[in-house]
Amino acid sequence: MNPDPRRWWALAVLAAAQFMVIMDTSIIAVALPDMQRELGFTSSGLQWVFNAYAVALGGLLLLGGRLSDLWGARRVFAAGWATLIAGSVLAAAATDAGTEVAGRAVQGVGAALIAPAAMTLLMVLFAGQPAELPRAMAFYGAAAPAGGTAGVFLGGVITEWLSWPWVFIVYVPIGLLTLALTPRLLPAVPGRRGGLDLGGAVAVTGGLALAVYAIVLAPERGWTSAATLAQLAAAVVLLAAFLLVQRAARNPLMPLQVWRTPDLAAANVAMALLGAAWIPMWYFLNLYVQHVLGFDAFASGAALLPMTALMTVLMTTVTGRLIGRFGTKPLIVTGLVVLAVGLGLLATADADGSFVADVLPGSLVAAVGMALVFIPATIGAITGVAPEQGGLASGIVNTTYQVGSALGLAAMTALATSRGAEGSADGYSAAFTGAALVALVGAGLAAVTLGRVKSVEHV
């Protein structure tokens, strides 16, 4: 099979898309205080600027993967960017909290179409090129966490020099450029015949949204209040209904037999707990440097630039070599432990802290942990499945990361709220401590449940 001569240019477009999709979860971080003041968000409601995007993305990724199979990956990729542009316009134009959350949800829908289609296109571009696929995967994989952290810095630049709506407006020209390049660089992938599991999509998205909503409001209403328990019970019912629908549906979003693949479940658990530890870290670290250290928007974004640079360099130059030498399991376990150490260092920051002593060391150690885990966990989650289920496996691992991120942020926000007033160092310290425990649990589970040790040659 002759390789596509445009494959590396096409990979740049796909990696940029992955960068932008994940950056959309973090570019709003520095702008949050300004958005809270101007749009009237409450302290607990503010996190829905993130969660509306993450829940829509996580809940609809499986549907996005199915649509990519049915309608063709390039077509769905383009439709996702059109949707993301529309959501960006709505979020930028918002004058109240409800409209802002709606715009973010539409952005999440667009991202849920882009991410699985991009992975399918990558696999098509490098099919039959086993020597190049690991490098392509590493480049594409590094784009996600790099985008997540780089978004904090770019958001700071935009918020300081322009205003918060521009963190959404920036997606419009980038999206239009991507749409122009798509037919020129990306391969046309034909769709397949089949039906849509809309019932499954509604059940899984509704269940996830209810679970996050209940956890967010639990500190105010009480964990044992009737409303909290009812919503959590309804979330469990909806997620159980999703599994039942998958068992009975002719064209399920997530065929349950895929979970028989060795290491698939274990790698996805590791990815979910990675998201549950990492996303609360950058969320509360950004609030700490603004509310406690008194940094302005630009300075708070720049404060996380060393972490971004270190993580990107490690993921693009070192992680692949370590996988080739040690395999994926040792890196996943070690990386989660290192991430926990970094979070533990951040948890020692207090109201009289400083950037050099309290932010820089912990953030750099956490970046090393993230660089060790993300690509190995992704590889562990997608390489054991049959080729025709590659898009499904990609959708599942993206889903677990986003769901873990949303639930982890909701839980750590609840913990921070219970331990300190809004903007207090004690509350942030509690959140960092909770996230460190999540990372340690992830390391322990990975050590016990991951079986095979995959090397780059298996990718």
CA 286 to chain centre: 17
| Cβ neighbours for 354, distance < 8 A, ≥ 6 positions apart | 293
Rounding to the nearest 10 degrees, give the CA dihedral for residues 348, 350, 354, 359: 40
* The predicted structure's pLDDT at residue 130: 66
CA–CA separation, 271 and 215 (whole Å): 20
Per the structure block, which two tokens stand in for 356?
């050099």
Measured CA to CA, the distance from residue 56 to residue 424 in angstroms comes to 30
Distances (CA, A) of 452 to 262, 322, 329, 376, 380: 8, 16, 8, 12, 9
**401: in domain:** yes
Q: Kindly state whether residue 262 falls inside one of the protein's structural domains.
A: yes
The beta strands (E) that lie in 378-431 are given as: none
**Residues 377 and 428 grouped into a single domain:** yes
Look at residues 220, 250, 280 and tell me which one is the last residue of a structural domain.
250
Burial of 432 (0-12, 13-18, 19+ CB in 10 A): buried
- Looking at the fold, whether 119 and 172 belong to one and the same domain comes out as yes
Sign of the CA dihedral 267, 269, 270, 276? positive
For residues 183 and 218, membership in a common domain is answered with no
| Residue for token pair 């940029």 | 16
| Amino acid identity at 99 | T
Residues 85 and 166 occupy one common structural domain: yes
Assigned domain for 405 exists: yes
| Class of residue 328 by CB neighbours under 10 A (exposed 0-12, middle 13-18, buried 19+) | buried
Residue 357: give the domain boundaries. Answer: 7-196+251-458
| Predicted local confidence at residue 456, as pLDDT | 46
* pLDDT in the model for residue 458: 41
Residue 325 lies in a domain: yes
Same domain, 246 and 393: no
CA distances from 283 to 229, 374, 428, 431 (A): 27, 18, 10, 10
CB atoms within 10 A of CB 321: 11
Domain co-membership, 103 together with 178 = yes
Q: What is the pLDDT of residue 58?
A: 72
Chain center to CA of 12: 20
Closest CA to 117 of 178, 169, 167: 178
DSSP code, position 284: H
Question: The domain spanning residue 99 has which CATH number?
Answer: 1.20.1250.20
Alpha-carbon distance of 379 to 410, in angstroms, equals 27
From first to last of its 459 residues, the chain has per-residue pLDDT tens of 567 678 888 888 888 888 887 777 678 877 888 888 888 887 667 878 877 887 787 777 777 877 887 788 899 999 999 999 999 999 999 988 889 999 999 998 998 888 888 877 887 787 766 667 767 777 777 776 667 667 777 777 888 788 889 989 988 998 999 999 999 888 887 767 666 777 887 888 788 778 877 876 776 788 789 989 999 999 999 999 988 888 887 778 777 887 888 888 899 999 999 999 998 887 788 788 888 888 876 777 778 788 878 887 888 788 878 888 888 899 999 999 999 999 999 999 888 888 898 899 999 999 999 989 988 888 888 777 765 566 677 778 877 887 788 788 878 887 887 776 556 788 889 999 999 999 999 999 999 998 755 554 444
**86 shares a domain with 207:** no
> What residue ranges in 228-353 does DSSP mark as E strands?
none
Tell me: do 406 and 433 sit in the same domain: yes
Q: Please tell me the predicted confidence (pLDDT) of residue 420.
A: 65
Read off the pTM.
Answer: 0.78
Q: Please state the domain count of the chain.
A: 2
Asked if residue 2 is part of any domain, the answer here is no
pLDDT confidence of residue 147? 75
- Same structural domain, 174 and 305: yes
Same domain, 173 and 289: yes
**Which pLDDT belongs to residue 457?**
45
Contact 78/22 with Cβ under 8 angstroms? no
Same structural domain, 293 and 395: yes
Q: How far apart are CA 394 and CA 350, in angstroms?
A: 40
- Backbone phi and psi for residue 445, each to the nearest 5 degrees, phi listed first: -65, -40
Is the distance from CB of 87 to CB of 109 less than 8 angstroms?
yes
Angle at 400 between CA 61 and CA 233, to 5 degrees: 95
Cα(444)–Cα(236) distance, rounded to whole angstroms? 26
CB 348 within 8 A of CB 358: yes
183 and 13 Cβ atoms separated by less than 8 Å: no
Residue 1 lies in a domain: no
Burial class (CB in 10 A: 0-12, 13-18, 19+), 163: middle
Cα–Cα distance measured from residue 68 to residue 70, given in angstroms and rounded to the nearest whole number: 6
CA angle 298, 300, 315 (to 5 degrees): 105
What confidence score (pLDDT) does residue 379 get? 81
Give the model's pLDDT for residue 271. 92
Half-sphere exposure of 119 (CA within 13 A, CB side): 31
Looking at the structure, do residues 419 and 325 belong to the same domain, yes or no? Answer: yes
What per-residue confidence (pLDDT) applies to 432? 94
Q: Are 111 and 80 in contact (CB under 8 A)?
A: yes
Residue 98 included in any domain? yes
- pLDDT score of 145: 63
Q: End of a domain among 250, 271, 286?
A: 250
Residues 6+ apart with CB under 8 A from 206: 59, 238
Q: Of 250, 272, 291, at which residue does a domain stop?
A: 250
